[in-house]
Amino acid sequence: MSGTRAAIRYAKAVLELANSQNTAEAVHQDMALIANIIAESKDLSEMLESPVISLAVKKSAVLSVFNALNSVSVNLIDVLAENKRLSILEHVANKYNQLYDELKGTKVATVTTAVALTNELEAKVLSKIKELTGGNDIALQNVIDETIIGGFILRVGDLQYDASIANKLNKLKQEFTLN
């Protein structure tokens, strides 16, 4: 909980600094890269969480992995290392992107599927979401989760539509246990 609250505070501060320096878009790209790579790399994630590895090693590893960052992004890594908070770097990056999207008026739609969306299907989903939400700027994020078996789960803001096979099976199971 406190890590999440801290991530929000760091993200707000970085966004404010990036806006004042007119580098918010570049930092947004950096934060998207950081969030994606940490989420995909189990080794990097575990290294950042490890209490055994020194902060100096963590900081140098992060800076070597992300060697082409904007100066604001590098300063964030420096501050997180200084405050012994490098473990929340992924959370800060995700919160920054969320705050940046809110600032720009872009809604993020998350589509969870069992397999990756094709470009054609992604375009259809995006047009349908734009139609349903009133034509706002929409960024589509595809999350792959094989446990849903098939179908999809669509989430836009606080709204969620679950058309997954796993959800339908759970509902069917509940109906049988009630009767």
Q: What is the reported pLDDT for 79?
A: 96
pLDDT along the chain (179 residues), means of 10: 81 96 95 92 93 93 93 95 94 94 86 90 86 78 88 85 90 86
**DSSP state, residue 50:** -
Q: What is the reported pLDDT for 33?
A: 94
pTM exceeds 0.85 for this model? no
User: Which of 99, 85, 90, 102 has its CA nearest to residue 35?
Assistant: 90
Q: What is the reported pLDDT for 95?
A: 94
CB atoms within 10 A of CB 6: 17
**CB of 76 closer than 8 Å to CB of 28:** no
- Return all residues near 61 (Cβ < 8 A) that are at least 6 apart: 44, 47
**CB of 126 closer than 8 Å to CB of 138:** yes
> Would strands 159-164 and 137-144 be described as parallel, antiparallel, or unpaired?
unpaired
